């Protein structure tokens, strides 16, 4: 009876105690849209590639406990582009790489945080090839067939992260109270940090100029 | 000095720090230009190759032209790719090297390709292109760059020299047999000298000037081109298009790609193989137009996971007036496998056989048959730095040797 009471208390009170941070990250200039190398393609796949405006990842620095069962995320290979181009995941997440194009791709990474090569596979192959990302760090994805294709997976030791909007704004909710470091990953060379002291139910504003 | 180059290649490669990877990515971004909200964009990219060959003499196999046992062949290749709206694409390839094929000469600068391609109705049904570009025949062209080709030396049909000369019309069967070393009479050591006269079935990617139409309808792909140079024409001829203005070569390929795993193709070619200045050796009553190269080629490619397989077979007829038809068939099978994300290996076996021509009342094979086995391990230190080794063993048509070997290493930096 006491246990059930404590559980109910936790369920009701925990969301009230969770803190929120919102703010804005100053983002770098947009990169030029890549050019598809079609030198020896008999069939031109012209068109305009989808653009990936710069965004940042804001996260509450860990370590926090990993999930019991690995969450699953995905990065699509669509129109000769990785979508999304930046994916933050908690360490222990499995990421799948569906190929939605009618041509082969070959996803690979030489990054120390995860070195793998999925080879070439058809769009209809099941299960969709994927990789477990269990070591925190930055993983650069590339395609061995299309040299312009590139994406990043940011493997974090925390479940508390968010991708900014294209204007740099972000909102993190459900954060645990306590003293933490809030980080904004902007690119491989730039990560900004801000110490935060989160009270239960607090709402903070943090900007990364 | 030359062995030092090989050692240097082997030492430099692992020493390239991983930080350079990030540098190459940033360099790539700095060399990408975009305007009109991405509708107009261009990118400069390139490859720096440091190649070292260790050859057996006399007569290094193929189109490699040197009297030295070892040859250092550096090459800087820069590409410009430009997309102008959804329907127009252009690219150019500029090289600085010691010759199109490895040779002992000074560095020189050369535009190997420049192309303007237009898809008049958008989509994939039809593309038109004009310029100086690789042939549509076969499937080796798609992977012939230093980064994508598992080997350093081109496959047999693109590299092995036939007995025919493009500088002189063969006057009699005895002469042709002497050129092919089938009959005694010519020192094998002179073969190296003949390298500037003989030619393979297809000379490399055949970057001749021309115009092409290509497209895709369902699972089928088609391509047709008119080029100012036969498939076998040498790189020097590609720079003299006026020679062939009255004798354009027509090449076609029809491909069937039922899935991304499989690609089947059949190609055909018809052109004149004699150079213009060989006209003086053409017998009276004939013209260069009588010296034709006719080719039927089949190609197949397969890929799945870490395996890639390619095979091509070229059936070629060289029409040789007053002698007969010189038929030859060359083909190869190539397998590449990625053992780990960074380490891969490739095997290739190729063979070229010759038909017969009439000579003194009998039928005589007009060339020496040749087999070649090649092995090429490769390691990618980063997505921008690769080291490739190549070992080849060739039996037949090697001058004084029945068997000859070629060793090569190639360090490539891609930016």
What average pLDDT does this structure show over B100-112?
88
Please give the pLDDT value at position B11.
Answer: 56
Whether residue B92 is contained in a domain is answered as: no
Exposed, middle or buried, B55 (CB in 10 Å: 0-12/13-18/19+)? buried
* Residue of A28, A34, A40, A114 to mutate when probing chain B, most B C-beta within 10 A: A40
| Distance in angstroms (rounded) separating the CA atoms of residues B214 and B210 | 13
Question: Which of B22, B41, B89 lies at the smallest CB-CB distance from A44?
Answer: B89
Q: Is the pLDDT of residue A208 over 90?
A: yes
DSSP per position, B154-180: PPHHHHPPPS-BSSS---SHHHHHHHT
Q: Which range among A105-114, B99-108, B138-147, B403-412 shows the weakest confidence by mean pLDDT?
A: B99-108
Q: Is the pLDDT of residue B150 over 80?
A: yes
- List chain A residues with CB under 8 Å of B119: 44, 46
Judged by CB atoms within 8 Å, which residues 221-250 of B form the interface with A? 221-223
Which residue did the predictor score with more confidence, B385 or B69? B385
Q: Is the pLDDT of residue A118 over 90?
A: yes
Exposed, middle or buried, B392 (CB in 10 Å: 0-12/13-18/19+)? buried
Tokens linked to B385: 């730095």
Q: Closest approach of chain B CAs to the CA of A152, in angstroms?
A: 13
Please give the pLDDT value at position A209.
Answer: 92
Residue contact B41–A188, C-beta within 8 A: no
Residue B216 belongs to domain spanning: 2-30+44-73+102-110+124-414
Whether residue B172 is contained in a domain is answered as: yes
- A29 CB within 8 Å of a chain B CB: no
Please give the pLDDT value at position A11.
Answer: 43
Instruction: State in Å, rounded, how far the first CA of chain A is from the last one.
Output: 51
Question: Which of B38, B305, B338 lies at the smallest CB-CB distance from A33?
Answer: B38
* Residue of B17, B42, B43 to mutate when probing chain A, most A C-beta within 10 A: B43
- Of the CA atoms within 13 Å of residue B192, those in its CB half-sphere come to 16
Whether residue B37 is contained in a domain is answered as: no
Domains of chain A: 16-36+50-64+162-209 (2.60.40.10), 65-157 (2.60.40.420)
Q: CATH no. for residue B214?
A: 2.40.160
The predicted complex's ipTM stands at: 0.85
Residue contact A40–B45, C-beta within 8 A: no
- List chain B residues with CB under 8 Å of A131: none
Mapping DSSP to helix (H, G, I), strand (E, B) and coil, where does residue B43 land? strand
Residue-wise pLDDT tens digits, B174-219: 999 888 877 655 555 555 557 788 999 999 999 999 999 999 999 9
| Distance in angstroms (rounded) separating the CA atoms of residues B351 and B371 | 4
Give φ, ψ of A174 to 5 degrees: 70, 30
Which residue did the predictor score with more confidence, A96 or A41? A96
Q: Is the pLDDT of residue B409 over 60?
A: yes
In whole numbers, what is the pLDDT of chain B averaged over residues? 89
Whether residue B240 is contained in a domain is answered as: yes
Whether residue B153 is contained in a domain is answered as: yes
Q: Closest approach of chain A CAs to the CA of B336, in angstroms?
A: 12
Question: Which of B136, B259, B341 lies at the smallest CB-CB distance from A116?
Answer: B341
- B264 CB within 8 Å of a chain A CB: no
Q: Give the count of beta carbons closer than 10 Å to the beta carbon of residue B27.
A: 16
Question: Which of B33, B38, B383 lies at the smallest CB-CB distance from A110?
Answer: B383
Q: Is the pLDDT of residue A8 over 50?
A: no
Please give the pLDDT value at position B135.
Answer: 97
What average pLDDT does this structure show over B21-50?
88
- Residue B132 binned pLDDT confidence (cut-offs 50, 70, 90): very high
- With tokens 């007053």, the residue in question is B322
User: Does residue B114 contact residue B131 with C-beta atoms inside 8 Å?
Assistant: yes
Whether residue B280 is contained in a domain is answered as: yes
* Percent of chain A predicted with pLDDT > 70: 88
Whether residue B87 is contained in a domain is answered as: no
| Distance in angstroms (rounded) separating the CA atoms of residues A125 and B172 | 60
Q: Calculate ∠ Cα A121-A126-A128, nearest 5°.
A: 65
What average pLDDT does this structure show over A2-8?
47
Residue-wise pLDDT tens digits, A147-157: 889 999 999 99
Q: Is the pLDDT of residue B259 over 50?
A: yes
Q: Closest approach of chain B CAs to the CA of A199, in angstroms?
A: 40
- Residue B60 binned pLDDT confidence (cut-offs 50, 70, 90): low
Q: Which range among A40-44, A115-119, B214-218, B379-383 shows the weakest confidence by mean pLDDT?
A: A40-44
**Strand order across the beta sheet in which A190-198 lies:** A161-163, A57-60, A178-187, A190-198
Please give the pLDDT value at position B101.
Answer: 87
Whether residue B389 is contained in a domain is answered as: yes
CA A129, B307, B73, B71 torsion-angle sign: positive
Please give the interface size between A and B, counted as residue pairs whose CB atoms are below 8 Å apart. 128
- Residue B399 binned pLDDT confidence (cut-offs 50, 70, 90): low
- List chain B residues with CB under 8 Å of A138: none
- List chain B residues with CB under 8 Å of A146: none
Residue-wise pLDDT tens digits, B210-239: 999 999 999 999 999 999 999 999 999 998
Q: Is the pLDDT of residue B398 over 50?
A: no
Please give the pLDDT value at position A153.
Answer: 96
Please give the pLDDT value at position A108.
Answer: 97
- Residue B341 binned pLDDT confidence (cut-offs 50, 70, 90): very high
| Distance in angstroms (rounded) separating the CA atoms of residues A70 and B244 | 65
Judged by CB atoms within 8 Å, which residues 109-168 of A form the interface with B? 109-110, 112, 115-122, 140, 142, 147-148, 150
What average pLDDT does this structure show over B358-382?
93
Q: Is the pLDDT of residue A14 over 70?
A: no
Number of domains in chain B: 1
Please give the pLDDT value at position B63.
Answer: 80
Q: Is the pLDDT of residue B7 over 90?
A: no
Closest-CA residue of B relative to A99 is B260
Closest-CA residue of A relative to B308 is A120
Tokens linked to A44: 């031109």
Q: Is the pLDDT of residue B325 over 90?
A: yes
Q: Which residues contact A2 (CB under 8 A, 6 or more apart)?
A: none
Closest-CA residue of B relative to A37 is B81
Please give the pLDDT value at position A13.
Answer: 44
- Residue A45 binned pLDDT confidence (cut-offs 50, 70, 90): low
| Distance in angstroms (rounded) separating the CA atoms of residues A171 and A167 | 13
Please give the pLDDT value at position B62.
Answer: 77
Q: Closest approach of chain A CAs to the CA of B240, in angstroms?
A: 23
- List chain A residues with CB under 8 Å of B83: 35-36, 46, 48
Please give the pLDDT value at position B110.
Answer: 94
Residue contact A42–B223, C-beta within 8 A: yes
- List chain A residues with CB under 8 Å of B85: 46
Please give the pLDDT value at position B203.
Answer: 96
């Amino acid at each position: 009876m006491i246990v059930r009471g404590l559980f109910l208390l936790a369920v009701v009170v925990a969301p009230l105690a969770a803190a929120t941070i919102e703010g804005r990250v100053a983002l770098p200039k947009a990169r030029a849209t890549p050019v598809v190398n079609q030198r020896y393609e008999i069939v031109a796949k012209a068109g305009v590639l989808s653009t990936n405006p710069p965004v940042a990842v804001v996260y509450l620095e860990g370590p926090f406990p990993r999930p019991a069962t690995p969450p699953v995320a995905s990065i699509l290979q669509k129109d000769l582009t990785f979508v999304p181009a930046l994916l933050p995941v908690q360490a222990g997440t499995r990421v799948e790489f569906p190929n939605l194009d009618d041509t082969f791709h070959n996803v690979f990474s030489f990054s120390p945080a995860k070195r793998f090569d999925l080879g070439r596979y058809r769009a209809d192959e099941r299960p969709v090839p994927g990789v477990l990302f269990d070591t925190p760090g930055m993983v650069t994805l590339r395609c061995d067939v299309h040299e312009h294709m590139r994406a990043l997976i940011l493997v974090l030791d925390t479940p508390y992260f968010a991708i900014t909007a294209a204007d740099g704004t972000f909102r993190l909710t459900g954060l645990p109270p306590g003293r933490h470091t809030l980080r904004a990953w902007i690119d491989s060379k730039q990560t900004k940090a801000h110490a935060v002291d989160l009270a239960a139910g607090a709402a903070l504003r943090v900007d990364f100029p | 000095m030359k062995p030092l180059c090989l050692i240097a290649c082997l030492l430099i490669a692992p020493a390239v720090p991983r930080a350079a990877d990030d540098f190459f990515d940033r360099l790539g971004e700095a060399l990408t230009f975009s305007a009109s909200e991405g509708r107009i964009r261009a990118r400069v990219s390139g490859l720096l190759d440091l190649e070292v060959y260790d050859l057996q003499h006399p007569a290094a196999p193929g189109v490699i032209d040197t009297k030295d046992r070892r040859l250092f062949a550096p090459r800087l290749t820069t590409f410009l790719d430009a997309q102008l709206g959804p329907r127009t694409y252009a690219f150019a390839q500029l090289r600085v090297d010691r010759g199109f094929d490895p040779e002992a000469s000074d560095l020189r600068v050369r535009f190997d390709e420049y192309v303007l391609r237009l898809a008049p109705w958008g989509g994939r049904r039809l593309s038109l292109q004009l310029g100086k570009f690789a042939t549509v025949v076969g499937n080796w062209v798609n992977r012939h760059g230093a980064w994508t080709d598992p080997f350093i030396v081109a496959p047999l049909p693109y590299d092995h020299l036939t007995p025919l000369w493009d500088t002189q019309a063969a006057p009699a069967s005895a002469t042709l047999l002497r050129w092919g070393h089938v009959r005694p009479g010519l020192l094998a050591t002179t073969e190296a000298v003949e390298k500037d006269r003989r030619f393979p079935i297809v000379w490399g990617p055949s970057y001749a000037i021309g115009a092409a139409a290509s497209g895709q309808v369902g699972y089928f792909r088609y391509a047709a081109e008119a080029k100012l140079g036969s498939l076998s024409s040498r790189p020097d001829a590609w720079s003299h298009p006026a020679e062939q203005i009255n004798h354009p070569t027509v090449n076609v390929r029809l491909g069937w790609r039922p899935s991304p795993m499989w690609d089947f193709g059949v190609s055909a070619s018809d052109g004149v193989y004699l150079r213009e200045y060989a006209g003086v050796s053409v017998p009276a009553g004939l013209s260069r137009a009588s010296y034709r190269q006719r080719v039927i080629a089949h190609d197949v490619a397969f890929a799945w996971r870490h395996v890639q397989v390619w095979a091509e077979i070229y059936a070629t007829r060289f029409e040789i007036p007053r002698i007969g038809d010189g038929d030859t068939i060359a083909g190869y099978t190539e397998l590449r496998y990625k053992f780990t994300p960074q380490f891969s290996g490739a095997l290739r076996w190729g063979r070229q056989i010759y038909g017969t021509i009439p000579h003194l009342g009998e039928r005589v094979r007009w060339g020496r048959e040749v087999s070649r086995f090649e092995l090429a391990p490769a390691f990618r230190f980063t997505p921008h730095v690769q080291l490739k080794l190549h070992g080849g063993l060739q039996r037949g048509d090697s001058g004084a040797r029945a068997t000859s070997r070629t060793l090569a290493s190639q360090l490539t930096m891609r930016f």
